Structure 1
């Protein structure tokens, strides 16, 4: 915490930074209080960490639950200075009395008030959702930025995301997914863009890295993305996922049992199972698994020219959700959230790869019997032919 109230009620800020001698003199002048809970706080002037205010042990203030690391304090300071250098007038840790909330920074830009929350450690989902909804109801746009210390990059185009990371997932006006990070050690923004989950934890993404001095607030609020394809990477992820499940019988045991009951081999699933869709982040369960359940419950029982309706798809999907076999995500930054969206996208994709024919928005006809490969060589040949013909349809984000 970088702001506190003096005994006379005036606000004292630790930015711009002062010498330690000046701070010690200031500290000796009286007590300080949290602007939010009004409890006593202590000015910490150490050699290892940036100077800051801290609640005393046993405090019940929500601020005391989020112990700010040096990484967090330095990042907050850098973001504040970054906004000042753009001739804006940011406010450090302003307390909104009517909202009972205090963002890290607030700033007015282009006739809109923004609350900037720099989050370097997870907080309870209910708290994040409450903060977001309270800002939204009061016409304040909340910009959540994750600390770079939370980023878990696994390869050039692969990242591991936690449930908390997904809470902060957002979309551009043209419908592309992104997550912003800021690293106070390197002084750089890192944007994850065009995010497509491959499993509950892993996702394919494009990494964009920018020094803070090379980015304006306008560029952060309206980050531009290029179209990106993940054909090779997606195929490798799906193959690896099948291999892991096949070798480890304790992994996804209920799913594997269901495949066995219906005489399906995870290595020989139809090509229509395990495909990416734009709104896949709505569903926590791997596309390989939830699309397998749709195949088992609906598509495998249909023959050429038979009708499939969206209502059937939705009913089968939600039945698995209710049984706990498919898990959904909470995405509080996404307005007009509906689980129907990824299901509609999947049906449209099946139309695009010539599995279905659209009769109208809700009704589809199966164009041919769905083939199940009878051995690995046949499966590999089908897969090669399939991706060669349809990779532009499937992997365009």
Structure 2
């Protein structure tokens, strides 16, 4: 069993990270000047409704607008319409939401202001297939990308070239109004054009570069999507297009800022904290092995960090689907990690998605310690067999080590905290 003080300590670090990305806190210092004309709010992502509610509270003046979020992630707004749709595979409600956003920004003047509240999850929530493609084609594309193990930047680059709304197209539709995009980053490197596939932020990536990405990673695209890309039609607008000349983009919350908040909380409790990176990518199981190797080195040799220490990292790992189990990238990371620290005392870890949902289940992530693998075996579960089947959720559920928070109202990607050593008495 994992010590309750250590479990609570790690959960507290997660809460500090999420609080740093709180919508009201993130927005209050970045509000744009009031326009001469109308203020229109649009948005998409798992935290879009909470961002909209916070913006309404902070904005001193009339406004209207539309945002779309995942089913069950809504929040009450007075003047902004909140729509819900499916994630991670798009549905008809997402199609309707995309149409509603285009309607919201139509007919505006150069005196009007569009505020775009964009966060992770918007790619799936905004299906808008180009002419010749259907919702089913976008669904097939999403499934293929989710199973491919490709990094999020590659997935979003492909999505932008098979859409009428991504890659800056929604902002282009708002012209001649000015568009200010306020972005909560859930992508490594905090490139605003990658968040939610950039509906209001154009990308300089060319079709040739996208096709090279597909070839380099041997991504098997649905035939109709492949044919669409080959046709070279409906290319996204370039960043130097005059329709974007008056627009502004700001990243208002990110994994880096949230990790710094967690590190500060750990240090206040008397535990040294180190941040490996806020932009780690790669197969979740492989990233788990690397983190486990570092933790074992600290536990056994006090290098490269001395105990006690909490090792923090963020970014977005990927999972190549091999089996048909339940789980997400954070529980997959942690199951690989647990197997690699099996029996090594003094190591406890939490891995979770800051939006509160890891994969398609209701948990944010899970906890693991030196006894996790042994507990699984005592219940007849082989940790490595579960890993091979992509069944990490079932494994951690069996030993009651899932981490459940519910929707957090924000999304700054994965959060990993590994405590090596004992907590001070006051922590």
| Length-normalised TM-score, structure 1 | 0.26
Please state which structure has a larger fraction of its residues in strand: 1
Bigger relative contact order (CA 8 A; separation at least 6): 2
- State the TM-score, normalized to the length of structure 2: 0.24
